[in-house]
Structure 1
């Protein structure tokens, strides 16, 4: 089943086109990873699909409707996004930040209801951040802050969650902690997860579907076997890879690689 897809999407800034005639289907209730080199259009695609930026031509369809025509609060009840560099949280407590996720459900008075507080506590519980509820966000570690941002996205109660490089600046343990949390949300609550990842082996391990981009176009989209292979990675990253098997998941993994020289 597919609820969300793009059709011949073109996105750019000024006269420079970043995403070009891109048509992609996002599998429902699955984890999708978007990979590609820096500047290939990964973040631009995410921003366009969540209506943070406008697109020039083409369409983005969610539940049979073009998202450009959707009411902002209605759209915010369907999809949430965790950007690559979240805005400053100076002075906010964890509970206050997570409460922002309830904005789509608030009346014109802007007051939190009993249901809002219940959802906030649930989101904190699920992300194991409830003990930090009254602590300043700035006082937390990088991994703790990332889980709090995910809690805010969960408080939106959306079926689809977009994350732009959720493991950036985190050490290996905290990267794994965040990715395992997202996988748990997908498996236990059937959330559709769409995330940009730089680590190919993390993409292979955690994603059900991978979209490989180069210069704003799709080189290959499919399961791990389709994308994490010598030919695709050569085309996308200009690297010569040795592909093995993850002994724990039996999924393909990049064992080592060399940078290709020239046009070879």
Structure 2
């Protein structure tokens, strides 16, 4: 089932197009990861789909409706986004920050209702941050802060959550902690998760569906096994990758790779260095 999709979406800054005529279907109640090299349009695409920035042409459709025509509060009840570097939490306690997720539901003077407080506590419980409720956000570790931001997104009670590089600046343990939390939200609450990730093996391990971008266009979109193949990674990242299987998850994983240099990188595969590396497999 697909509730969210784009039709011939083009996004740019001034006269420079970053994303070009992109059409993609986002599987409902699944985890989708978007991969690609720096500057390929991953974050730009997320911002346009969530209406943070406008698009030049095409459309983003949610439940058959063009989001550009949706009321802001109505849209905020359907989708939440956690940007790459969340800001604006300085001086706030954890509980106060998470309460911002209730904005779409507030009326009148914006006072929190009993229902709002119940949802805030639920979001803190689910993310394992309830013990930090009265602590300043500034006093938390990077991993703790990221879970608090996810709690704020959960407090919006949306069925769709976007995250732009949610593991950035986190160590390996905290990266895994955040990704396992998102997987749990997807599996237990059927939240649709769309996120940008740089780590290919994390993308393959946690995603049901992967979208690989290059220069603002889709090279390949599909199941992990369809996207995590040498040919696609060669086109997207200019690498000669060796793909195996994760012994714990049975998902595809990049075991090793060589960098293909120069404009004619297709010819570089036969270079003695690459030929020697490939002979081991």
TM range, smaller chain: over 0.9
Counterpart mapping for 1:119-198 below 5 A: 119-198=119-198
SS in 2 for 1:110: coil
> What's 1:79 paired with?
79
Q: By how many angstroms is 1:20 displaced?
A: 0.3
Q: By how many angstroms is 1:261 displaced?
A: 1.9
* Structure-2 separation of matches of 1:254 and 1:173: 20
Size of the alignment, in residue pairs?
264
> What's 1:113 paired with?
113
Tell me, yes or no, if structure 1 residue 237 matches structure 2 residue 254: no
SS in 2 for 1:108: coil
Q: Provide the aligned C-alpha RMSD in A.
A: 0.4
Q: Deviations over 1:35-74 (max 9, x none)?
A: 0000000000000000000000000000110000000000
* Structure-2 separation of matches of 1:167 and 1:85: 11
* Structure-1 separation of matches of 2:35 and 2:78: 24
* Structure-2 separation of matches of 1:46 and 1:90: 25
Q: By how many angstroms is 1:108 displaced?
A: 2.3
Tell me, yes or no, if structure 1 residue 222 matches structure 2 residue 218: no
Q: Deviations over 1:50-108 (max 9, x none)?
A: 00000000000001100000000000000000000111311000000000000000002
> What's 1:88 paired with?
88
Q: Deviations over 1:149-177 (max 9, x none)?
A: 00000000000000000000000000000
> What's 1:62 paired with?
62
SS in 2 for 1:26: strand
* Structure-2 separation of matches of 1:235 and 1:35: 12
* Structure-1 separation of matches of 2:244 and 2:3: 34
* Structure-1 separation of matches of 2:252 and 2:18: 29
> What's 2:16 paired with?
16
Q: By how many angstroms is 1:135 displaced?
A: 0.1
> What's 1:261 paired with?
261
* Structure-2 separation of matches of 1:108 and 1:145: 30
Which has the higher Rg, Structure 1 or Structure 2? Answer: 2
* Structure-2 separation of matches of 1:123 and 1:89: 17
* Structure-2 separation of matches of 1:19 and 1:148: 31
TM-score normalised according to structure 1 size: 1.00
* Structure-2 separation of matches of 1:212 and 1:100: 33
TM-score normalised according to structure 2 size: 0.94
Q: Structure 2: which 5+ residue stretches go unaligned? A: 266-281
> Which consecutive segments of 4 or more residues in structure 1 shift more than 2 A?
none
* Structure-2 separation of matches of 1:129 and 1:75: 26
Q: By how many angstroms is 1:5 displaced?
A: 0.2
Q: By how many angstroms is 1:192 displaced?
A: 0.1
